[in-house]
Structure 1
Amino acid sequence: MPKVQLSTSIKRCRKSITLETKLEVLLRIEAGERIVEICKAMGLAKSTIQTIRDKKEEIKAYSQSAAHTNVARLTRQRYWVIEKMEKLLFIWIQDNNKRKIPMNQMTIQQKALSIFENLKNDHTDESVKDVTFQSSRGWFEKFKNRFNLRISVFLLLLDPMQDDSHLKSIANILCTGSDVML
């Protein structure tokens, strides 16, 4: 009987690495030190060292503008027009819930694009003209988390021969409560 080998490796916890540490890694790489040696000396995974090496230009640019090198996370500033669009979209979703209008992900994403384009066209700010927005699935998931939206999904098998009044009653049943219905 062949032996089955069980994995005893423990999943490592994700940790933030300071900008200072990243700069030290870059200095060692530029000095010609091998990645394996850097891993052992600094206690970092090989993939982490490789990612730092691949993002060298981004890290160096940030380090020149950063006030403190002991910051652990590089953050990206969100544009005000996108934040305003998300607030308006949330108000629209709440309004549709109060009126018991069912919505799906595609409808919400289309409305987000529509609101964004309206905001962008209404402002004469040159900085706003360069801002782009894609209402992707990833954006939608993050939007739900930011606004603490709970989406209820119901799969309905409906008889195609039934009249529209049946569909309206099902929509009314699904829209009761405070959840957005997909």
Structure 2
Amino acid sequence: MAPQQQNSSSDASAPKKPRKSITMEVKYDVIKCSEKGESNTEIGHALGLSRTTVVTIVKDKQRIPKHVQEAAPMKATVINMKQRSQNVVEMEKLLLIWLEDQNQRRVPVSLSVIQEKARELHAAVVKKSGAGSASEEFSASRGRFNRFKSHANLHNVKLQGEAASADSSRKFP
């Protein structure tokens, strides 16, 4: 009987190449380079990717820009700028920075504190922009805050508040 030959591709002693995850930003760069007319091989060499990986990314170019746009924190705010005034957009950017600062300091915030800060920031932005926008109304409502959270892509904002009080009229034996 003839000895069996081992297939070199299934050799257990050969080191496996580790998988490399590619961020959406890198994929977006691949698509932009491809649209400029660069070849897949050139793109692969420039970004340290294989040609087949570049080809796969370019084939999936319909989905990637949409995903990058949705993943960016304030991109939705910029897109919806026609529906909201520039003052509100600026106030939301400042409020986001303030919230991140409070979060890093581990300072608990309540909805009322966030609403008050939003009112202060909006008044400051209106004052800075001039008298022409003084007629603009702003209400820091719960619904506006929930829309702000979705615009800013905030998922883990923990609001601190007062706990419900106990029923003092009930007597225990």
On whether the aligned pair clears a TM of 0.5, the verdict is no
| TM-score, structure 1 normalization | 0.41
Larger Rg: 2
